[in-house]
Amino acid sequence: MISLTVNGTRQDLDIEPETPLLWVLRDEIGLSGTKFGCGAGLCGACTVHVDGVATRACITPVEAVAGSEVTTIEGLSSDLGRKVQQAWLAQQVPQCGYCQPGMIMAATALLAESPRPSDADIDAAMTNLCRCGTYARIRRAIHAAAEA
Amino acid sequence: MIDMMKTSRRSFLKSATVVGGALLLEFALPTLGPALGGPAGRAQAAAATTGINSFIRIEPDGAVTMTVGQAEMGQGVYSGFAQILADELGAEWSRVSVVSAAPHPDHNNPWLDMQMTGGSMSIRAHYDVLRKAAATAREMLVHAAAEAWGISPDGLSTEAGFVVDAAGDRRFGFGEIAAAAARMAPPAEPRLKDPADFTLIGRRIDRPDLPAKVEGRAVFGVDVTVPGMAYAAVRNAPVKGAAVGSVDRASIDGMPGVIDVVEVPGGIAVVADRWWRAKQAVDALAVTFAETPHDGATTAALMDSLRAAFEASDAALAEEDGDAEAALADATTFVEADYDAPLLAHATMEPMNCTASVGNGSCEVWAPNQSPVSVTAAAAEVAGLEPSQVTVHTTFLGGGFGRRFEPDFVAQAVAASKAVGRPVKLIWTREEDIQHDFYRPAAVARFRAGLDADGNILAWTTRISAPSVMQHVFPGAIENGVDPSNVEGAVELRYAFPARRVDYVMGKTHLDIGFWRSVGHSHNGFFTEGFLDEVAAAAQADPYQFRRRLLAHDARALKVLDAAAEKGDWGAPLPQGRGRGIAFHESFGSLVAQVAEVSIEDGDVRVHRVACAIDCGMAVNPDSIEAQMESAIVYGLTAALRGEITLEEGKVQQSNFHDYELLRMDEMPVVETVIIEGGPPIGGIGEPGTPPIAAAVANAIFAVTGTRIRSLPIRKQNLEV
């Protein structure tokens, strides 16, 4: 039995310990906001917070986060998280939207650590992929959220 | 492709009925005469007899629901359609919501007479239909109000969700009058609003699908859940077309959660109680695939076979004007160059997936797709049912770009569900997605141009060869041996060439070939604008001024070219090591010019800025147009700099984002867009930003390095300043 906290709720899971956190979130707990993009930690569509740190859930075995606090896009209820989401809307960032939960989780973690990130900070932290090419708007939204 | 199939269509109101207290307007569109052929065309004919649908629904509380039959894949069609409908109706925008339509001929693209999302056609093909639908609803609401008030409908109008009388004394909310309105006789020819009175069309409206997308609530195909469903993971044949040989089920004995091993079209699937378990099992499954005639196929051989077309004597004529050969003989300067572009994958962020539930005499499918008719056909065939027994739900698409026009993954999900007798959600890995795409065809072109002593072009010829896009989807589109999707963007150039000849040799590959954002324009934009730059250099002319001379007769094109040059500071001094390139290309009814500013750092190209001007006729949502220019530029730039699918031993070598790299945040150039509304007809916006970017960048590289880029991707070049 593996126990962890997801969006404030304790979860006790009887599951193969190597199962990636992504599939635990999506198929065991029913939180589908965290997306599957590559399965190899390359695209960031699966980004969640593990104890506040942006983490790629598709390559994180669930046993590695036993006892941790996991936050997904559905549980992003902090003031900062709301600010980021508001900035995303104000800049009309998403196109298809598939990568955006991961982008928002990555951006929120960046802003928590670096409240006034430079463009270089954003480049370094935001390595998630967006096939629609919303990068310029993401950059604007992060700056806007920092100033909100 | 599509312009050639365009035909003038008129819609007419079929009926208006009250359903559950809501005003529901149902439209029918006459069917297109010639069948398109292929499975999609056949299914369309069958689907035409099923289902009912509507564009506008008004609830008793005044909420207005717009039903959109075009897939929302990021291009903003929900917003664009809802803006058009709401404006013409006089609805209050905050009360408008959008839902995805079930497949139905009422939602057919009027130019093609089939329901599909592609060709940058949504707004331009449906604009008139949507306005007429909404104007009809508005007049019925107005007539119902007039009858209730016992006055003439003249002078009544709608505004912000109300019918108001001329004096502004009385008003009905849409919800109050909707049921009565549904009993009104629909007007034969509703009066359309004066565009001067538009309140939503042309404005930057917030997209209705975005709140759900930033909160993680938006349901993409991969997010669909159905009670009792199992999950499937797939191993597709490593060489396209290889049959499954032996399967050793014992090799996965005892693996947790496994329900069954199922042969599906194109490969083998493991069905399990969880997707991760299905994936582990399909990875572990001992399976062999039969040999194919293509087991030795390589990219090198493919490109050689395409280049052989340069010497072919039987090329099909795609375009001819004047006597190009004679004009070339008269030239004082002759320029010749060969260009090529590689196979490309779409790499939508959401991997291919589909959920299917095959029951007794029915099949329900949830699929992120661009062609519900193809989905219906594929599901019906595999399930052994009639198309009328198939129900298709189109979810949000995590990217489409042409890939989701194909229903191959739908057939697999249906086969898996049918085999295990319960609903199945089938999801491809990224590796399967990249290695089993319907690829943008590799293409080659040989150009020749002749100039007179003053540097004027006398003749321009192009020979193109590429595997056909249309052969398997719309074979009827191939005429006289020419696939229009392979030559588009190399023919009908707006430049004043006194003589021109474009011909074509159809290439062959065992791979599946498909629509890839801007299709033939994606390579031909690079080819033509790259070669034109070479001709400008041969004429010792400034690349911008050279294009201006060739477009002197074309005020609309000049305006676009000038706008990009101005926005891109063409001619202004640049730091050492930086250069600008310009390109102009018309596609999907829109004119786009781009100026790229690049530098070379450690042998690699860095694109700093792209100034982009587009004339798309009219702007429904300027913010969506800017977003699509940014998007199309990144998509095209990713391909130009990095994109390449290669084959060895018949197999695609790339597998994930480490070897099929996409641009990231740190490589995103600043994109500045100028929108020009040159007047009707409306042009597309989803694709036209892609074709010019590779050439703009290649031409900028030439400005910095003196090196011509004639082969993509650019990263293969060893660039030095």
Q: Look at A32 and B223 and tell me if their CB atoms are within 8 Å.
A: yes
Please enumerate in sequence order all residues whose Cβ is within 8 A of that of B665, keeping only pairs 6 or more positions apart, or say none.
A122, A123, A126, A127, A128, A135, A138, A139
- What's the token pair of residue B557? 């094109």
Q: b/e per residue, B538-576, with b = 16+ CB within 10 A?
A: bbebebbebbbbbbeebebbbbbbbbbbebbebeeeeee
Q: Has residue B154 got a pLDDT over 60?
A: yes
The CATH number of B2-213 is 3.30.365.10
User: Does residue A144 contact residue A89 with C-beta atoms inside 8 Å?
Assistant: no
Q: Are residues A54 and A114 in the same domain?
A: no
Write down which residue in A75, A104, A127 finishes a domain.
Answer: A75
Write down which residue in A35, A60, A75 finishes a domain: A75
List, by residue range, all CATH 3.30.365.10 domains of chain B. Answer: 2-213, 221-292+352-427, 300-343+439-716
pLDDT at B22: 55
CATH number, domain with residue A8: 3.10.20.30
Q: Sort out which chain A residues have CB atoms less than 8 A from B397's CB and list them.
A: 96
Side-chain half-sphere CA neighbours of B648 within 13 A? 2
Tell me whether residues A42 and B656 touch, CB distance under 8 A. Answer: yes
Taking only the tens place, the pLDDT of each residue in A102-117 is 999 999 999 999 999 9
pLDDT at B27 over 90: no
CA-nearest of B76, B109, B712 to B396 is B76
Residues A143, A113 share a domain:
yes
Q: What is the DSSP letter of B32?
A: P
The complex's ipTM works out to: 0.98
DSSP B422: S
**Amino acid at position B71, single letter:** A
SS3 B501: strand
List pLDDT tens digits, range B347-357.
Answer: 999 999 999 99
Of A46, A75, A104, the residue at which a domain comes to its end is: A75
Per-residue confidence (pLDDT) for residue B25, from 0 to 100: 54
Q: Assess whether A59 and A124 both reside in one domain.
A: no
Assigned CATH for B300-343+439-716: 3.30.365.10
d(CA B721, CA B719): 7
* Residue A130 and residue A67 share a domain: no
For residue B73, the distance in angstroms to the closest alpha carbon of chain A comes to 5
Whole-angstrom distance, CA of residue A146 vs CA of residue A76: 17
Is A34 in CB contact (< 8 Å) with chain B?
yes
Range of the domain at A55: 2-75
Number of domains in chain A: 2
Query: Is residue B473 within 8 Å of B38, Cβ to Cβ?
Result: yes
For the CA atoms of chain B, what is the radius of gyration?
27
**Which of A58, A77, A98 to mutate to probe the B interface, most B CBs <10 Å?**
A98
Question: Which has the minimum average pLDDT: B15-24, B43-52, B676-685?
Answer: B43-52
My answer on whether A15 and A70 are in the same domain is: yes
| Cβ–Cβ below 8 Å for A34 and B216 | yes
Closest-CA distance, A128 to chain B, in angstroms, reads 7
Strand-pairing partners, residue B357, are B364
Residues A55 and A67 in one domain: yes
Tens-digit pLDDT profile for residues B504-530: 999 999 999 999 999 999 999 999 999
> Does position B4 have pLDDT exceeding 80, yes or no?
no
So what CATH class is B221-292+352-427? alpha beta
A127/B664 touch (CB, cutoff 8 Å), yes or no: yes
CA distances from B431 to A24, A40, B434, B435, B660 (A): 21, 10, 5, 6, 10
pLDDT over 90 at B184, yes or no? no
Residues 6+ apart with CB under 8 A from B10: B30
Break chain A down into helix, strand, coil percent, rounded to 5: 45, 15, 40
CATH of the domain at A141: 1.10.150.120
Measure in Å the smallest separation between the Cα of A4 and chain B Cα atoms: 19
Neighbours of B290 (CB within 10 A): 13
